[in-house]
Amino acid sequence: MSTENGTPMILLEGVSKWFGDFQALNGVDLSIERQEVVVVCGPSGSGKSTMIRCVNRLEKHDAGRIVVDGIELSDDIRDIQEVRREVGMVFQQFNLFPHLSVLENITLAPRNVRRRPRAEAEEKAMALLERVQIPEQAHKYPLQLSGGQQQRAAIARALAMEPRIMLFDEPTSALDPEMIKEVLDVMTELAGSGMTMVVITHEMGFARAVANRMVFMADGEIVEEGTPEHFFTAPREERTKQFLAQIL
Amino acid sequence: MSAPPPIRRRSAGEWARANLFGSRLDTALTVLFTLLLAWVAYRLGRFVLVDARWEIVERNITNLLVGSFPRDQLSRLWAALFVLAAALGFGAGAFGAQRRREVAEGRAEALPRGGIRRLVPLFLLVAVLLWFSGTLEPALLVLGAFGVGYGFNLLGQRTPRRLERYVPLVVLAGVLAAFLVVAAFGGVGWNLWGGFLLTVFLAVAAILLSFPFGVLLALGRRSSLPAVRAVCVAYIELFRGVPLITILFMAFFMIGFFLPEGVDAPSLVTRAIIGFTLFTAAYVAEVVRGGLQSVPAVQVEAAQALGLSPFKTTTRIVLPQALRAVIPGLVGQFISLYKDTSLVFIIGLTELLAVAQNVTKQPDFLAQGLYVETLVFASFVYWTGSYWMSRESQRLERRLGLGER
């Protein structure tokens, strides 16, 4: 884990979030270093998704502090846009834009947000499609692709903005079993390239192989964190043991 | 690889036995409706081909098409027709070539039923109009216009790739030029237009104005700003709650109240366009709102996560998906508007239907009961326009891949 200039890439301090009367996050503290790969797991409704959605302001936190790459998230739309440019996100349901071709999906944000010329954006997009190994799908529309191909296109779309952080919200949960590996391979390659990643997943094989740190959440709190070896072989907390017993 | 599905061919006789004469009830219904259809076809055919006295339409074909448009200026309309044919032919050629290239490169899917077949309703209309005109000159001019259109179509197909983005501008300039040929340089302003020309002008102008206005209203109704929302809701509910005739009357009587002193009151035609636009925009807004609701919220989240601004999110992600979901409803609204233009007779304008009524009162035809002939003619003209819009809408749906993408 490298810590250039000392500040963490993502810092959450006492972050709380309510949906009506339901408290989804309860004083979450988390610090993620540059180039770190953190895998978040926990039972459904534990606040994993809400936590990473707060990092790029898809949800607004009600209490606490969130600092992303030195920018504190406030109500200022400019700060929010700044953070969103730095943070790529991959969704469970891919959420590609169905009315645009795969290539247009990828070039949309670079052209409209980063103001890249069309030719440059398309060249970059093709390079990314090579990287996720679906260059032949460039001119197809999302719904003509398989689930695994769609998710890889979605990863390419996020990478096109050259983010410093990638958030993955259960990227393989909506995929058929035979397509999970192709997506995890892309993510493994990405982690190897030094990308800072926060991944919500229940793919424990991936977690063991790629994660620098495991975070276990329950009821809106971080219950336990540690290295994968420690987390899988000698968890401290009773709740962690119960959870691992169920999924392993 | 699996074998192709078995193909079972049925002869016409087998098909008829299965579908038309399957049971005694089927047989009875088949016979009954065949007789009914034959009778209707016979009566209609007999009226159109034998009984009808079409001379009322033949003698008034110019009145029906352009109303009281000054006869010494008719050449301007022909000139405008040539300019329009050139502009639209050029645009169709350029877009067609672009499309074919995308299909060849595998960037788009080929569409069945295109090209010249799209003009079938137009051909029908022109053929009937020429038949009624009965002279050679208009036929030659129309042939010339088609020739010019075809020539510019070929030219459009050769548009260099780097100039393709200017094609819509060129087409727009052409349409504008056609308008100027008629109206500018001592020409005939639209307050003097009548007949089918007025019908088309009212419909096109009101469609072009009400569409963007309606989209803005729909977006405003979903705005996070309470004041904007309230104004849009009030507008939509107000204008949807009032009959179109009332709005036309109000446009006739009330627009003067809202103008500052010293400004000339707009012409009747302008008032009618304002009335149609205000009315149709409210309906367009509700149709578009339905489309906006059909776009999943996660699409907005995905756009936000990429850093797209709210404006770009709306124009690039939400609106394109919303509008393609409501093409049938939108086109239905515009077909309604096209036919509703016939209501302007109540404020004293003479569009197609009003002319059709008026000519029955001419001395030569007075009290001879020739209403049916003119009404059938007017209906046919309205029908060709509506049918054309309907076909284009289906084509657009398929082209945008509604249901597949």
Chain A contact set for B404 (CB, 8 A): 141, 143
Distances (CA, A) of B379 to A10, B48, B272, B342, B353: 69, 13, 22, 11, 9
Tell if the CB–CB gap between B305 and A97 is shorter than 8 Å: no
Q: What is the predicted pLDDT for the residue at B19?
A: 80
Tens digit of each residue's pLDDT (9 = 90 or more) over B364-377 = 777 777 778 888 88
CB contact under 8 A, A58 and B301: yes
Percentage of chain B exceeding pLDDT 70: 96
Residue A28 scores a pLDDT above 60? yes
Q: What is the mean pLDDT of residues A159-183?
A: 92
Task: Give the gap in angstroms from C-alpha A174 to the nearest C-alpha of chain B.
Answer: 15
The structure's pTM equals: 0.84
Q: A219-227: long-range contacts at Cβ-Cβ below 8 A with a sequence spacing of 24 or more?
A: A219/A26, A219/A46, A219/A47, A220/A16, A220/A17, A220/A23, A220/A24, A220/A25, A220/A26, A220/A28, A220/A46, A220/A47, A220/A50, A221/A25, A221/A26, A221/A27, A221/A28, A221/A47, A222/A28, A222/A29, A222/A30, A223/A42
Distance from CA of B316 to the nearest CA of A (A): 9
Mean pLDDT confidence for B336-356: 89
What's the complex ipTM? 0.90
Nearest CA of chain A to the CA of B379: how many Å?
A: 38
Long-range contacts of B50-59 (CB under 8 A, 24+ apart): B52/B372, B52/B373, B52/B376, B53/B368, B53/B370, B53/B373, B54/B132, B54/B373, B56/B359, B56/B360, B56/B365, B56/B370, B56/B373, B56/B374, B57/B132, B57/B373, B57/B374, B57/B377, B58/B132, B58/B133, B58/B134, B59/B364
Domain ranges of chain B: 54-69+192-376, 71-187
- B327 close to B317: Cβ distance less than 8 angstroms: no
Check CB contact of B305 with chain A, cutoff 8 Å.
Answer: yes
Q: How confident is the model at residue A180 (pLDDT cuts 50, 70, 90)?
A: very high
What does the alpha-carbon distance between residue B61 and residue B129 come to, in Å, rounded to a whole number? 8
Contact B308/A112, CB-based, under 8 Å?
yes
User: How big is the A-B interface in CB pairs under 8 Å?
Assistant: 69
Give the pLDDT band of residue B107 (cuts 50, 70, 90).
low
How far off is chain B from A141, nearest CA to CA, in Å? 7
Identify the weakest region by mean pLDDT among A3-7, A15-19, A21-25. A3-7
> Per the structure block, which two tokens stand in for A210?
């790629």
- Name the DSSP class of B360: G
Cβ separation B305–A88 shorter than 8 A: yes
Q: Over 70: is that where the pLDDT of B201 sits?
A: yes
Residue A107 has what pLDDT? 95
- Cβ B405–A98 below 8 Å, yes or no? yes
Q: Does B162 touch chain A (CB under 8 A)?
A: no
Whether the per-residue pLDDT at B80 is higher than 60: the answer is yes
* Average pLDDT across chain A, whole number: 91
Nearest CB to B306 within list A98, A99, A109: A109
pLDDT of residue B55: 77
- Please choose, from the candidates B324, B352, B325, B358, the residue with its C-alpha nearest in 3D space to the C-alpha of residue B338: B352
The span from the CA of B351 to the CA of B344, in Å, is 7
From A232's Cα to the closest Cα of chain B, the distance in A is 32
Nearest CA in chain A to B318: A97
Tell me which of 1.10.357.10, 1.25.40.10, 3.10.20.90, 1.10.3720.10 is the CATH number of domain B54-69+192-376: 1.10.3720.10
